[in-house]
Structure 1
Amino acid sequence: MAMLVPVDNVIRFPEATRGSTTELDRPQTLVKARDLMAQKLCDALRSLLPRLEEELLARGDASTGRLQRELYYGTRDVLHEKAQLLESCLASAWLKLCESWLQPADKAKASRAISEPTELQLLDFGAMDQELAVKAIASRLQSACDEDLFGAGHRLAFLCVCTSTINQEGIAR
């Protein structure tokens, strides 16, 4: 009888290299951790599916309406039939999420080469300060005038409705 080695949540490092991982080892460690987590997620889903099926069966048996009963039974059947697909989708989503975290969009933009010299631009800090100051003043003015503009907008809308009603009545006569 073969002895099974239990799989735990720890990635083991050789004793000689503890505390001295190189930059080259870190990506490999992250990949191992990512794959281990994907496996654990699939195992958790696999262990949860029988309980979900039992719960759906029990709710289907207890339901009084035919449509509701069929919904519970149908959902149970779909879960049973698509269990492998659900596991692979879960693992795939986890791997995509990890990839997006390991290679953020900013890093991809920074690593790409600049193709045109026009993409390079010198910053004029004086103009930038002036633009920020103008935006701050405009924002303060807008927030100070919002209440008055709201009331004026309602009055103008009312006048537009009144004039269009008067024009329609004049045309109808």
Structure 2
Amino acid sequence: MHAMIVDHDATRLERSQIAFLEAGIHVTGSGSHAVAETCLKRAVVDVLVLDDDCGPERIAALTALAQRRNPRLVTLMLARDVGEAADLYSDAVTSLHCVLDGRVSPRMVARMAQASLAGRAACKMTPVRADAAPKPAQEVPLPVFSTTRRKPVMPTEVAMHA
């Protein structure tokens, strides 16, 4: 497994690289779009982590380049406004698995990358039966992130698996 992290926040980039290495994922990181583009032209990555400060044009260009080299790419995005980023990129970036709050722990980002990689082939949607009774509404905590492909992980579920 190989990941590429593109992040303008040098401290977060460094911590993310350490978290990915501790999770057993080889990682390359950069705060420069030119360096990231050069790396993506020469290497195949399984996971692409992008900071939404890259801007829509560069995000589209980097993900398109990475997806051409690896059609099974998993893309994770770090954003200040999770909902806005999910709305903006969920249709445009076909490899986008989730949008995380930029303040989330780098270890959580590495775990999400592992989960997305493990589930990209195994994840199948179960059809809902028409005769199934709806579940009663109940108060639940807000998700840590917004996913574009799967059910969001709730903070309580993350704590149970830690």
TM-score of the two chains, using structure 2 as the length reference? 0.18
Structure with the higher fraction of residues in helix conformation: 1
Structure with the higher fraction of residues in strand conformation: 2
TM-score of the two chains, using structure 1 as the length reference? 0.18
Larger Rg: 1
